[in-house]
Amino acid sequence: MDRILALIPARGGSKRIPGKNSRPFLGKPIIQYSIDAANSSGLFSEIYLSTDHEDIAAIGRTVDVKIHNRSSETASDMATISDVMKELLADMQIKQGVLCMIYATAPFIDGEMLNRSYQEFKRSGADSLLPVVRFSFPIQRALKSDEGWLSMIKPENMNVRSQDLPPSYHDAGLFFWINIEKFLQTGKIFTDKTWAFEVDEMYCQDIDTESDWRIAELKYRILREKKD
């Protein structure tokens, strides 16, 4: 049976929204939603919170989460998610199993979504699984501006009907699943064997500004009303 781990990376530094990862979101720290989703899923033998900040670590200590002290190198603006994953796996001497990397500002996920995505990941036989959202308009008909003058990036699609163009997707920014052994071999999250797990656009929201934060809270309220 696979060893199934969760990693929630949450550094203290955030320039656009100070203290973002521990800031209250509708009554509790936003990172608490990610921790609660991981715990409620019942999937994980270990849940790691990787941080360089004591306030964030203190939140993790209130529940069944292991604190990983992130180094100054992986807490910098230049560090990537891959760097954080490699550091944790090296420090914990983990070489096999399955890892779910859960973002700290993803209040829309829950244990049920994690379970569905994990089952799909296992069925697919993929190296990794990435939640994605469909673009609302075909990107094949995207425009560009050259000093104010508009033109099509792909003019051959000018008269192609929208419904005749294949859908395109973008990363939902929620979480992803990855085979640890394959990741350590390649150092890559996205490979030619990455599986798509489509989610509705209501379940994702980049949170980089105060306006983003308010939109995320509004979306969360709407989703909660639907469940109730």
In this model, does residue 176 exceed pLDDT 80? yes
- Helix (H) / strand (E) element for 211: namely helix 210-227
DSSP assignment letter at 97 = S
State residue 81's pLDDT score: 95
Average pLDDT over all residues of the chain: 94
Q: Is residue 59 part of a domain?
A: yes
Q: For the residues 130-139, what does the mean pLDDT come to?
A: 96
Count of the separate structural domains present in the chain: 1
CA angle 104, 109, 113 (to 5 degrees): 135
Task: Give me the pLDDT at residue 2, please.
Answer: 79
Within a domain: 180 = yes
Residue 165, exposed/middle/buried by CB under 10 A (0-12, 13-18, 19+)?
middle
| CA pair distance 109, 2, nearest whole angstrom | 23
**Residue 209 located in a structural domain:** yes
| DSSP conformational letter for 26 | T
pLDDT band at 26 (very low <50, low <70, confident <90, very high): very high
Q: Is residue 215 part of a domain?
A: yes
pTM of the model: 0.94
pLDDT the model gives residue 82: 96
Question: How would residue 166 be classed by pLDDT, with cut points 50, 70 and 90?
Answer: very high
Per the CB < 8 A criterion, the answer to whether 170 and 136 are in contact is: no
Examine residue 220 and state whether it is found in any structural domain, yes or no. yes
CA gap 64, 26 in Å, rounded: 22
Structural domain contains residue 155: no
In a domain, 74, yes or no: yes
CATH code of the domain covering residue 14: 3.90.550.10
Residue 1 pLDDT: 59
Question: Does 123 reside within a domain?
Answer: yes
Boundaries of domain holding 109: 4-135+170-227
pLDDT at 137: 92
Classified as helix, coil or strand, 226 is: helix
